[in-house]
Amino acid sequence: MFALRCLFRKQARHFVTFSTWKSLTMQNRMSSTSNPVAAVCQMTSTPDKEANFSVGKRLVEAAREGGASMVFLPEAFDYIGSSREETLALAESLTGDTISRYTQLASKLNVWLSLGGFHERAHDWESDRRIYNSHVIINDQGSLAAVYRKSHLFDVELPGRGVSLKESAFTIPGPALAPPVQTPIGKVGLGICYDLRFPELSLALQRQGADILTYPSAFTVATGAAHWEVGSHSTRSCDMFLFPSSNLPVS
């Protein structure tokens, strides 16, 4: 068995206005301890990386204080740029300041972290100037346990709603799935946001033994409503889905 706790933070310009804990218990076949706790966190990201880290750090600390052995942060936990140019300018490598600070935090608090959508500079950054959308798992020793680079990129045009997003314009699709990661709460399968719409990914992870499928997300209001129903064909033999979310400033 493991307990799931959802930590919600609603912010106005990064100021935390309230928090609510909800808990439930679910069966977990692969759990390594009797009652590990997972915390799923929400936050509102902006282009201010320092302020975003401050919020993320407080969420992780609060979750650890509540007994969590693994904490899930959403897609774009590091930042959400206001333009393509700003998004690329703020990107970092996996050895950059943002991931380094979270590895130090994980080690200090002795907690596992799921960092659900990191703007990672691609391998040919100097010549190509494109990024990966990467889901990073950090273990309780502060080491990178897994990196999954998003396979399915989100391109959408909704003129009537003022939504125009083309992730493929500056993001490289990841080349492969990451095997499920053994964590204190069970085997975690890694996806990101729009990957949810492609059941082959979840089925492949389930066949590799995933107990939990994660889809950290930063959907817009207009597009997000169409993505939250999960088909039963994807959930067989998996204990649960986790959807930590980050709010996008698009209605």
CA dihedral 145, 154, 208, 121 (to 10 degrees): -20
Helix or strand or coil: residue 118?
strand
Average pLDDT over residues 117-140: 95
Catalytic residues: 75, 150, 193
In a domain, 251, yes or no: no
Confidence of residue 235 (pLDDT cuts 50, 70, 90): very low
Q: Give me the CATH number covering residue 59.
A: 3.60.110.10
C-beta separation of 72 from 115 below 8 A: no
Mean pLDDT of all residues belonging to the chain: 81
Kindly tell me if the per-residue pLDDT of 243 is higher than 50: yes
In a domain, 247, yes or no: no
Q: Which residues pair with 189 in a beta bridge?
A: 213
Q: What is the pTM of this model?
A: 0.81
184 CB contacts (<8 Å, ≥6 apart)?
31, 32, 33, 36, 69, 70, 112, 140
In a domain, 140, yes or no: yes
In a domain, 78, yes or no: yes
Structural domain of residue 190, as residue ranges?
2-242
pLDDT tens per residue across span 29-62:
333 446 889 999 999 999 999 999 999 999 999 9
In a domain, 248, yes or no: no
Q: Which residues pair with 71 in a beta bridge?
A: 39, 113
Of the chain, the end-to-end C-alpha distance in Å amounts to 38
In a domain, 249, yes or no: no
In a domain, 177, yes or no: yes
- pLDDT at position 34, please? 67
Kindly tell me if the per-residue pLDDT of 69 is higher than 70: yes
Instruction: Quote the tokens at residue 130.
Output: 């494109």
Give the chain's domain count.
1
In a domain, 250, yes or no: no
Kindly tell me if the per-residue pLDDT of 246 is higher than 80: no
